[in-house]
Amino acid sequence: MEYTPQELMVVVAAREIRDGEVVFVGMRLPLLAFLLAKATHAPQAVGLFENGVIRDTPAAEFLATMSDGPNVTGAAWCGEMMEVMALLQSGRVDLGFIGGAQIDRFGNLNTSVTNDNGKITRLPGSGGACDIASLARRHIIIMNHERRRLVPRVDYVTSPGYGEGGDWRQTVGLRGGGPVAVITTLGLFRFDPTTKEMVLTSVHPGVMAEKVKAETGWPVRLAPTLSTTEAPTEAELQRIRSYDPQGFWTRSRQ
């Protein structure tokens, strides 16, 4: 079956969720990734939503936002944002998903403001992303792969990755473990265990490493064995499309 880059990203993200984990789900593609993981290899995963909802069962209908009725109906708990954020503060969140307008080679994210040769553009800001990046045991970044987004240094650090690299997180006292993967429309990056620089570990089917390099604003490091991302199975695609029948998030019907 044919699939969109967004559907592939959902599958790759779902594979990062482990059974029994507490997951700060986030918006857009992570909504679908959580549902897919619950239906396949991680049935005991628990989803936290920034609006205060906690779910241990999948929502029964399509979600455009985390506050849609189907996400509230049947939830394990509907509290307040402060209560969900407190779970981050207490170290009880295993995995979080975030995205951004810019990312640099150490996984720092910008969702606040960009400066394009003096042209200042205000962005939506952090929401809960900085909390997730700072306090979750690990987090994953999902974003479109464009040279204007993958930059040598972000214009503003909204959500910290590994700062200047190395042991920066420990030096500044961040409790969370930091980013472990960056999933883009072109490939999958991990982080060097020592330098904390992004390393391209796999390219998506049909994508060449040269394309990734051309769309990245710094010299891309390649893993010693660069692989090809495993394509979605027919069963995975069918499940994703049942969750998003109009292709609202995955663009599969456009």
pLDDT of 39 reads 93
Reading the block at residue 244, the tokens are 């998003």
Contact of 132 with 93, CB cutoff 8 Å: yes
> What would the 3-class secondary structure string for 65-100 be?
CCCCHHHHCCCCEECCHHHHHHHHHCCCCCEEEECC
Question: Strands, DSSP E only, in the chain?
Answer: 22-24, 46-48, 53-55, 77-78, 95-98, 102-103, 109-110, 113-116, 119-122, 138-143, 179-184, 187-191, 198-203, 221-228
CATH class of 5-243: alpha beta
Return the DSSP state at 248.
Answer: T
Neighbours of 116 (CB within 10 A): 9
* Whole-number pLDDT of residue 248: 85
pLDDT score, position 28 = 85
Residue 171 has what pLDDT?
Answer: 96
Catalytic residue ranges: 50
What does the pLDDT read at residue 192?
97
Per-residue pLDDT of the chain (254 residues; tens, 9 = 90+): 799 999 999 999 999 999 999 999 988 899 999 999 999 999 999 999 988 899 998 888 888 888 888 889 989 999 888 888 999 999 999 999 999 999 999 999 999 999 888 889 998 888 889 999 999 999 999 999 999 999 999 999 999 999 999 999 999 999 899 999 999 999 999 999 999 999 999 999 999 999 999 999 999 999 999 999 999 999 999 999 999 988 888 876 54
Separation between Cα atoms, residue 225 and residue 236, nearest integer Å: 26
Query: CA angle, corner 46, sides to 45 and 49, nearest 5?
Result: 140
